[in-house]
């Protein structure tokens, strides 16, 4: 029996699988936001029957794809 916390368990030593609550924690959003992003098919999911899980790498790619680069300060004296 694996006694590590769920977020530290992995499927095949390369894929970290998270619950909806854990995914919400990773992205610092609510559980409902994760569910909405899933319904809109913006987040990839892994389904086991009715259970929905998220791959940590997919969540990290999603967050990176939403990053907006700074363009620098345009006003004021230098």
Kindly state whether residue 72 falls inside one of the protein's structural domains.
no
pLDDT of residue 8: 53
H helices within 1-78, ranges in order? 20-27, 31-39, 56-65
Q: Please give the Cα distance from 34 to 74 (Å, whole number).
A: 35
Tally the domains of the chain. 1
pTM: predicted TM-score of the whole model, two decimal places:
0.71
Q: What is the pLDDT of residues 15-52, one digit of tens each?
A: 899 999 999 999 999 999 999 999 999 999 999 999 99
Tell me, what DSSP letter sits at residue 69? -
Kindly state whether residue 28 falls inside one of the protein's structural domains.
yes
Position 71 confidence tier, pLDDT thresholds 50, 70, 90: confident
Q: Please give the Cα distance from 50 to 71 (Å, whole number).
A: 44
Give the 3-state secondary structure of residue 16. Answer: strand
What residue numbers bound the domain in which 10 lies? Answer: 6-65
Kindly state whether residue 22 falls inside one of the protein's structural domains.
yes
On the question of pLDDT at 59 being above 70, the answer is yes
pLDDT of residue 5: 55
pLDDT of residue 2: 55
């Amino acid at each position: 029996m694996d006694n590590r916390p769920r977020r530290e368990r992995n499927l095949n030593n390369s894929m970290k699988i998270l619950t909806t609550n854990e995914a919400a924690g990773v992205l610092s959003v609510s559980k409902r936001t994760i569910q909405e992003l899933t319904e809109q098919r913006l987040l990839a999911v892994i389904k086991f029957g009715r259970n929905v899980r998220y791959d940590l790498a997919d969540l990290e790619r999603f967050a990176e794809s939403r990053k907006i680069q700074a363009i620098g300060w345009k006003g004021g004296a230098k």
